[in-house]
Amino acid sequence: MGKFSNVAHYQDFTELKKILSASAANTYDMDKIEKAYKFAEKAHGDQRRVSGIPYILHPVSVACIVAELGMDTDSVCGALLHDTVEDTGVTLEEVTKLFGADVAKLIDGVTKISKIPYSTREQQQAENIRKMLIAMADDIRVIIIKLADRLHNMRTMDCMPEQKRRDKSLENMQVFAPIAHRLGIKTIKDELEDRSLQYLDPIGYKEIEDDLLMTEEDRDKFIESIKNQILAKTEGIIPGVYISGRVKSINSIYRKTYMQGKTMDQIFDIFAVRVIVDTVSDCYNVLGVVHDIFKPIPNRFKDYISMPKPNMYQSLHTTVLDKNAIPFEIQIRTWEMHYTAEYGIAAHWKYKLGMGAGGKNNDKMEENIKKVKDMILDQLEAEDVTDIAKKEYQKRFYGK
């Protein structure tokens, strides 16, 4: 559908191997992963999805999402095997014997989350959120696999009845997308929300999508012009500057237009240019260059480097005007900040595995992961969980 028409809904083991081999930061145990794939393939046998596709393609596709997040070997194995205990005759004891206690623990956690009886009633949703957050506190990899599972299910939802598509979409908005947000996994959060919005309000989604598509060529030219201006001013002064452009997610625009009553012209960050550099000092140097080229909009600068968000997000944000008074946002960050911004806490497995055991950076990553766990649990202690679910629902569908 529209924005997602080119997304591959199912991936096979060959594609998974390509993703794993392309990862420079992680050293994967390919023998263990291939063993997990063959075991899952045999366990699922002739099982098929509702669409008629062989079932094994679903766990492989989930494993691809997990691998793209930079997760470790056991996480990939857990993704490949995540439905074997629930949907086949495989036992946890078998998994433990063949793949170790860690993989079995991940599968057990995902299975328990899958058995939570979801409902559109706010109290039931609140209980779900509480249970899932507690599960995260034990091993965050469990929820990352579950998020990948939910995302792939949404990518293949067209074959399901309309009411089921709407029910699953509402669950995403109330439970899964907010959790992805709390973990800082922007890639999953944005796609879950956009795909869910397609089913919850297809007319509103289409209107925004059409409005964006109408100006696609001009938008690309605009972003390219901004990139070239920044590169011209930083060349020879700041090394290794990388710049990319993005358009705000459809669900984010939807919230501002339909819930806050804004027009497209009143949204300053529909367009954004992201500048990635090697060091923190380079971030501030780029900021100076940007404010020299473009006119900053007052009260639209935020320094999340010196004051990171609770989910570890770091970046400099400034909203500026080009020579034609078109507003756009510029985000400036280092590569490490970028991976954390896109993949959240999942990015820390990537860095952890790439730094060698026992290093100081490993200790820092463990400390950060614990910090996020504590932050999530503190949220549960601080306010009634029913209020969390209610606020998420009202914020997304009523703008309250």
Q: Name the phi and psi angles at 32, rounded to 5.
A: -65, -40
Which of 229, 208, 390 has its CA nearest to residue 321?
229
Q: Tokens 């996020």 label which residue? A: 372
Q: Please report the sign of the dihedral spanned by the C-alpha atoms of residue 340, residue 155, residue 83, residue 18.
A: negative
Helix (H, G, I), strand (E, B) or coil at 106: helix
Q: Which tokens hold the place of 221? A: 């030219």
DSSP letter for each residue of 302-358: EETTTS--TT----EEEEEE-TT--EEEEEEEEHHHHHHHHHGGGHHHHHHHHS-TT
Which residue stretches of 201-249 are H helix?
A: 202-214, 216-234
Cα Rg, the chain, nearest whole Å? 22
Q: What share of the chain is helix, strand, coil (3-state, %, to 5)?
A: 65, 10, 25
Of 34, 87, 207, 303, catalytic: 87
> With contact defined as beta carbons under 8 Å apart, do 183 and 191 qualify?
no
- Dihedral-angle region of residue 54 (phi above 0 means left; psi in -120 to 50 means alpha; beta otherwise): beta
Distance of CA 313 to the CA centre of its chain: 13
Distance of CA 148 to the CA centre of its chain: 9
Q: Which tokens hold the place of 65? A: 């999402």
Q: Which tokens hold the place of 250? A: 């459809």
Which residue stretches of 69-201 are H helix?
A: 73-80, 84-87, 92-99, 101-114, 122-138, 140-155, 162-171, 177-182, 186-200
Of 86, 93, 224, 235, catalytic: 86
Residue 86 annotated as catalytic = yes
On the 0-12 / 13-18 / 19+ scale of CB atoms within 10 A, 207 is middle
Active site residues: 86-87
